[in-house]
Amino acid sequence: MKKAYVFPGQGSQFPGMGKELYEKYDKAKEMFEKANEILGFRISDIMFNGTEEELKQTKVTQPAIFLHSVILSELMGDDFKPDMVAGHSLGEFSALVAAGAMNFEDGLKLVSKRAMAMQKACELQESTMAAIIGMDQHSIIDICQNITKDGETVVPANFNNPQQIVISGTKKGIERSVEMMQAMGAKRAIVLNVSGAFHSPLMEPARVELQEAINETEIKEPICPVYQNATAEPATHPMDIKMNLISQLTSPVLWTQSVERMIADGAEEFIEVGPGNVLQGLVKKIHRKIKTSGIQTL
């Protein structure tokens, strides 16, 4: 049975995450302490004892989810035998480290740099995102294009499942899009509680900043294909992986397309590694009969 291991993105964090791993396993403790040293603050303390608000800070959230996922895959040892991997947005970095394309330290440094660069880009312009549920993809794309022609920026950012697409853009543009989509029959159109327009052209300053860091990072051939967000295609060549990783910040997350492609390539079971169960839910909405499970602790 071909197994696809998938890694969650921002939004899956919860207070107390990873604490049990730290207390039970020397290897986990060692990796958490290494992370505290690299980041220059004790992220482990915030993860284990912090409030939801503290965990929500981008500079904490992204490394925290990455750490939880990567430490779990490391602790699985020989049981971690993926035929393919993918990660949702930030989760792509966890997937690359778990599949051996990048080492733990480099992955964490990139994730930290990504979080800071995204935070800076968010501060340059008032922007946000909205989840659109129960509306066909072509209508959503049309509305986004029309509002962008009128001088705002709005783009589809996450193709999460056939019934849920997240759009991203300027605050005014998103508010107008939500009104229009509700009027045109979307089941729900909800502005999200996020501080910026992730996976949109408004992230260009962050992409430029991250590009340099990615280009300087050693990327090796992974142990299995990595299905990347920007293309929904399997990648194994280090140069392809780098290119797709660079374009990820300003490109939509093609999650539905990635899952469909993995199934077409033989995936029979999807295993989510890391906090929460968001991806299991999304996979089920894409293919009702596929087997899913999750690993949050050992």
Query: Active-site residue 199, yes or no?
Result: yes
Catalytic pick from 69, 73, 89, 168?
A: 89
- DSSP string across 267-290: EEEEEEESSSSHHHHHHHHH-TTS
User: In angstroms, rounded to a whole number, what is the distance separating the alpha carbons of residues 164 and 151?
Assistant: 25
186: amino acid identity, one letter: A
β-partners of residue 84 are 4
- Which pair of structure tokens corresponds to residue 75? 């602790």
Give the pair of three-digit tokens for residue 82: 């993926």
In the chain, beta strands by DSSP E? 2-7, 84-87, 127-133, 154-161, 164-170, 188-191, 226-227, 234-235, 267-273, 291-295
Q: Is 287 a catalytic residue?
A: no
Say which of 68, 73, 94, 199 is annotated catalytic: 199
Q: Give the contacts of 241 (CB within 8 A, at least 6 positions apart).
A: 96, 101, 219, 222, 226, 228, 235
Classify 120 as helix, strand or coil. Answer: helix
Q: Find out whether 205 and 117 touch, Cβ atoms under 8 Å.
A: yes
Supply the residues annotated as catalytic: 89, 199
